[in-house]
Structure 1
């Protein structure tokens, strides 16, 4: 019984730490929006350096999303949290949050960015309204600032091209995760 209590307490603590690491800076709504948009621009700049073809993919898409995410893996469980924005070609922006939990083998902490390029309007609408992703995940990363390396790249899932960029972390994981994206009521 004590072992389950300690594991539960550790899980809650990790979730709180992860949520704290993946929040926007600023105190006012305007400052928080500005921080999200600045993160978006920084991520796109890095994406275009790493994957030059992504610039044309975004230019021809009806919309895209950029997320910042922190993830913690402790042996059999993983937790993550983050924030981002969906940018539609019409100019409309929808600020969003994300959270994830998973089971599998893993150990470490990782800070990464994700860019989703939507292939049609119905996929954008479904993502904003439902925003649920579920799938297996395996990766390895050992990176601090510009030092080290990380395995990431590009995937196509349900009319969405997904690019992942690892910013920093030391992680080895193979897990099944559920990720939930939802509108940020405070920023929209």
Structure 2
């Protein structure tokens, strides 16, 4: 009788582990699909606001789209989000996360999207392989570095890298210095 109970307990344990592994894999696939859908919806919204952005993104080496939620109360604030980077040449997808910290006066909650455009493979590779950290060092004008055209609505953040930012929901009033980190999502890659 003890052997039957022991074998039954062992079988149940193995089945629970197998089920949990399958559920975790399905959950990861669901999270990846959700990020793909959010990326497509964000790009559609960008193209409605900035129609020329579609051609810019399609002809770039790659792009990354992040959807984030930020909170600012008094002197401190933070934001977090998830997204994905896509290499236009290979079609490779890298799932990523972002974290932002703020210091400065403000109050509010907002949801927003950041779309990175990478002019060359080096810029895309640096972003996805080394991650990214920066503060508010953007310039007011952007140039594509190839044809001399301006990337309307985009802001250059480093050589070969531009961003578009759109607020999707919420209202925030702030004057802040921000530090933002972008990095690979170890669980989804």
For this structure pair, what is the TM-score category when the shorter chain's length is used for normalisation? Answer: 0.7 to 0.9
Residue 120 and residue 79 in structure 1: after superposition, are their counterparts in 2 closer, same or farther (change >3 A)? Answer: same
Equivalent residue, structure 2, for 1:92: 92
Bigger Rg, structure 1 or 2 = 2
* Aligned counterparts of 1:56 and 1:157: Cα–Cα separation in 2: 20
Q: Report 1:18-167 matches (<5 A).
A: 28-89=27-88, 90-136=90-136, 153-158=153-158, 159-167=160-168
Q: How many aligned positions are there?
A: 148
* Aligned counterparts of 2:58 and 2:156: Cα–Cα separation in 1: 17
* Aligned counterparts of 1:157 and 1:133: Cα–Cα separation in 2: 11
* Aligned counterparts of 1:163 and 1:80: Cα–Cα separation in 2: 17
TM-score normalised by length of structure 2: 0.75
Deviations 1:1-22 (A, max 9, x none): xxxxxxxxxxxxxxxxxxxxxx
Runs of 4+ in 1 over 6 A off after TM superposition: none
Pairwise CA RMSD: 1.6
| Larger relative strand fraction | 1
Please tell me whether the aligned partners of residues 62 and 119 of structure 1 are also in contact (alpha carbons under 8 angstroms): yes
* Aligned counterparts of 1:53 and 1:95: Cα–Cα separation in 2: 26
* Aligned counterparts of 1:168 and 1:186: Cα–Cα separation in 2: 28
